[in-house]
Chain A
Amino acid sequence: MSSSYSNYTNSPCAACKFLRRKCTSHCVFAPYFPPEEPLKFANVHRIFGASNVSKILQEVAPHQREDAVNSLAYEAEARLKDPVYGCVGAISVLQREVLRLQRELEETNADLMRCASYLGGEAASAYGGRRG
């Protein structure tokens, strides 16, 4: 009856521990919230709520559930660190950085064109001088 995940014969998963309920072999949270990571579920529960997480997990395909849980955990942690903006703050920072880098790249490419044409002109005149 034992499985690789927590069930009622083994330690309950972090979700069932937190919710103080029996962790069955069919527990939807058990594969993704191991008992040694209690904070992960606590954060997700605080921001999204256990029932919302359960609904999201049921909506996604089984092979995508781990990624879904990890992204929820990431968002929850970000929201706890920054209660006003959450991970949207990081998006804003990254967007600004992208724009800054794009501007800098344009300026650098413009400088590169100027350097290349200047050097091309000098090389041409040096070659022409040797020939002439």
Chain B
Amino acid sequence: MGGPGSSSPCASCKLLRRRCAKDCIFAPYFPPDDPHKFAIVHKVFGASNVSKMLQELPVHQRADAVNSLVFEANARVRDPVYGCVGAISYLQNQVSQLQMQLAVAQAEILCIQMQHEQPLQSHHQVLELDQEDKALLLNSNNINNCNNDNNNLGYAMSSGQFNSNFASPSSIMQMQMQMQMQDPLKQESLWT
């Protein structure tokens, strides 16, 4: 940690070329050994905006706020058009696809269970019944129930404005996010 007196100034004060006061709001979160962290946040958000945001938060939430700002800033620098909104779009599509696959698999199980309850006449007839029931079940409430779960995810999922106004993310961003999002460890600590 940078800071007071004879200590090294924090990364923010170094970049801004000012004296790093004892109560510097940036010092706890932008150590002097990681200059890139503040540089990128300053580039996207601006130092005064970051300062205002931090001042509005209780102290125990500021570290998380800084980390999420760094994440957003990095995403915006990598993809100036979509930023981390591109990742949201990609994940929404992934959720939709998985829900569809799940609905199909669940419908197939129901088909099989229904066949099991009916007397078996011939193997060939069983196969034909499978196709009809599968089509019926795919149009049933099972899919609607899966979609209802989708709407409960929060404003990101239910934001019709976002879904209607955005084109698909760039293919490069898709690949980058695919590589990132496949790491399950990142779900809880996106920025560590």
Residues of A whose CB lies within 8 Å of any CB of B are: 46-49, 51-52, 56, 59-60, 64, 67-68, 70-72, 74-75, 78-79, 81, 83-99, 101-102, 104-105, 108-109, 111-112, 115-116, 118-119, 122-124, 126-127
From B46, B112, B161, give the contact of A116 (CB < 8 A): B112
B187 neighbours in A (Cβ, 8 Å): 92, 95-96, 99
In the complex, A96→B95 CA distance in Å? Answer: 10
At the interface, yes or no: B106 with Cβ under 8 Å from chain A? yes
From B91, B112, B126, B161, give the contact of A95 (CB < 8 A): B91
Provide a sorted-by-A list of 20 A–B residue pairs whose CB atoms are within 8 angstroms: A47-B45, A49-B46, A52-B46, A64-B81, A67-B165, A71-B85, A71-B166, A72-B83, A75-B84, A87-B88, A88-B68, A90-B153, A90-B154, A94-B94, A94-B153, A98-B94, A105-B105, A108-B109, A115-B113, A122-B120
A122 neighbours in B (Cβ, 8 Å): 116, 120
- Interface residue count on the B side (C-beta < 8 Å): 63
In the complex, A84→B61 CA distance in Å? Answer: 7
Which chain B residue lies CB-closest to A109? B105
From B57, B71, B188, give the contact of A84 (CB < 8 A): B57
Interface string of B132-160 (1 = CB under 8 A from A): 00000000000000000000011111010
Distance in Å from the Cβ of A131 to the closest Cβ of chain B? 11
Interface SS majority for chain B: helix
Listed stretches B10-18, B29-37, B96-104; interface member: B96-104
At the interface, yes or no: B179 with Cβ under 8 Å from chain A? no
A67 neighbours in B (Cβ, 8 Å): 81-82, 165-167
A92 touches B190 (CB 8 A): yes
Which chain B residue lies CB-closest to A111? B109
Residues of B41-59 at the interface with A, using a CB-CB cut-off of 8 Å, are 43-46, 48-49, 53, 56-57
B53 touches A83 (CB 8 A): yes
From B45, B105, B167, give the contact of A52 (CB < 8 A): B45
Closest 10 CB pairs of A and B: A90-B156, A94-B91, A101-B98, A71-B85, A88-B68, A115-B112, A95-B187, A108-B105, A49-B46, A64-B81
In the complex, A18→B156 CA distance in Å? Answer: 27
B98 touches A105 (CB 8 A): yes
In the complex, A126→B118 CA distance in Å? Answer: 13
Contact A119/B116 with A86-B72, A88-B68, A108-B106 known, Cβ cut-off 8 Å: yes
